Amino acid sequence: MKRELQAAAIAVLASLAVGSVLMLVVGVSPVRVWGTMVERTFTDEYNLGQMLFAATSLALCGLAVALALEAGLFNIGAEGQLAAGVLACSTLGAALPAGTPAPIAIPVCLAAAAGAGGLVAGGVGLLKATRGAHEVISSIMLNFVVAGVSLWLGNELLFVGGATTGAPIAPGAELPHLGLGGSSVNAALAITLAAAAAVWWLRDRTTWGEAWRAVGRDPAAARSAGISVERVQVLAMTASGALAGLAAANLVMGYKHAFEDGLGRNTGFLGISAALLGRSHPAGVIIAALLLGFLQAGGLAVAELVPKELTEMLQGVVVLAVAASVPFVARARARAPKEAA
C-alpha cells in the first residue's frame, strides 16, 4: 500500500509540474494561479460546494471502475451506465404522482438509477462470462448504444417545449441542497460516502469481497479454490454498473430535477481517472475525486487568469501520470522479495 501511495503522489506531483509548465507557456505565474485556485475554492462557499458537487458523481463512477478493476475487469462503460441511470431515474421520477412522499419517491428513484446502470453492466459481465467477450470492447460500444437510445427516447417521448429537457421529477424525489453558498452540492454527497463505506466493508470484511479480489489476482487459482469465476465476473460488473448508475442521483435528483440530453457527459470517463489515481481503494477514490473536483471548480474560479481548457487538460494529464507510475509500483514490488532475502 505504501508503494501505491508513493505512485499516486508521484502522479499528482507530475501533473502539477506539467500544469505549471503550461501556465508559463500562456504567460501566467503558476504560483499565482495555484494560490488563487486554492484560495477561491476553499474560502468561498459557492466554489467549495461546486467542488463537492463535481466530486460526488466522480467518486461514484470511480468506485464503480475500482470495484471492477479489483475483480480483474476494466469497466470503461461507466459513461453509458451513468446515462442509463439518468434516463431511468428521471423518467420514473417524472412519472410519479406529484404528491408522492419523499420516503417513497427517493428510494424508488435511487433503485431505478442503480438498477439501470447495473442492468447495462451486468450484460457486459454476462457476455464476458459466457462468450469470452472482452469487457472493454463491449462496454465502450454500449456507451454509444445507451447514448443513442437516450437521445431517441428524448426526441420521441421525453423532451418538452422544444428543448432537450424532460418533464420535472416529483417534488418528493428531489434531494435537498446542503446550503453552501447557493451551490449545487446536495444530499447525494452523503449517499456517495455511504456507498464508499459499503464498498470498503464489502472488499475487506466479507467472503464475497475476498472472492472477487481472488479472481482479480489470479482467476485460475481462484477457480482451483472452488470460486465460480464467471459468477464473480457477472456480479462484480453488475455491482459496478449500479454504482455508476447511482451517480444519477446527484445529477437528476439533486441538480437538474429532470432528464436532460448529455447530463453528466464525460463523468464516467473521468471516473476512470479517480479509480486509477485512488489505486482502486475506496478511500483513495474519494480523495482522487476531490482532487479532480478541485481542478474543475478551481479552473472556473481562475477563468480570468488561464483558459478553462488548461485545467480540463490537467485531468487528462493526471491519467497519463498515473499510467506512467504503474511501472514504478511493479518494479518496487519485484525488488521487495529480493531485498528481503
Indicate if the pLDDT at residue 341 is higher than 70: no
The pLDDT value recorded for residue 167 is 94
* CATH of segment(s) 29-305: 1.10.3470
The span from the CA of 165 to the CA of 155, in Å, is 10
Tell the burial category of 291 from Cβ atoms under 10 Å away from its Cβ (0-12, 13-18, 19+).
buried
% residues pLDDT > 90 (the chain): 66
* CB-based contact 139:124 (threshold 8 Å): yes
- Cα 19 to its chain centre, rounded Å, is 23
Longest pairwise C-alpha distance within the chain: 72
Single-letter residue type at 18: V
Mutual orientation of helices 102-131 and 45-70 as an angle, nearest 10°? Answer: 40
Q: Distance between CA atoms of 182 and 270, rounded to whole angstroms? A: 25
Average pLDDT over residues 310-320: 77
Q: What is the pLDDT of residues 246-287, one digit of tens each?
A: 999 999 999 999 999 999 998 998 898 899 888 889 999 999
Cα atoms in the 13 Å half-sphere on the side-chain side of 94? 19
pLDDT tens string 59-78: 999 999 999 999 999 999 99
pTM: 0.91
Q: How confident is the model at residue 304 (pLDDT cuts 50, 70, 90)?
A: confident
Q: In this structure, what DSSP letter does residue 172 have? A: G
pLDDT tens digits, one per residue of 152-190: 999 999 998 878 899 999 999 999 999 899 999 999 999
- Dist CA 92 CA 87 (whole Å): 8
* Cell numbers describing residue 305: 487568469
SS3 assignment, position 134 = coil
Reading the block at residue 129, the C-alpha cell is: 462470462
> What does pLDDT average to over the chain?
89
Count of residues making up the chain: 341
Q: What is the mean pLDDT of residues 133-150?
A: 94
Whether residue 40 contacts residue 301, with contact meaning beta carbons closer than 8 Å, is answered with yes
CA dihedral of residues 125, 126, 130, 134 (deg, nearest 10): -40
3-state secondary structure of 202: helix
Whether residue 257 contacts residue 50, with contact meaning beta carbons closer than 8 Å, is answered with: no
Q: CB–CB of 109/256 below 8 Å?
A: no
Beta strand pairing call for 258-260 and 165-168: antiparallel
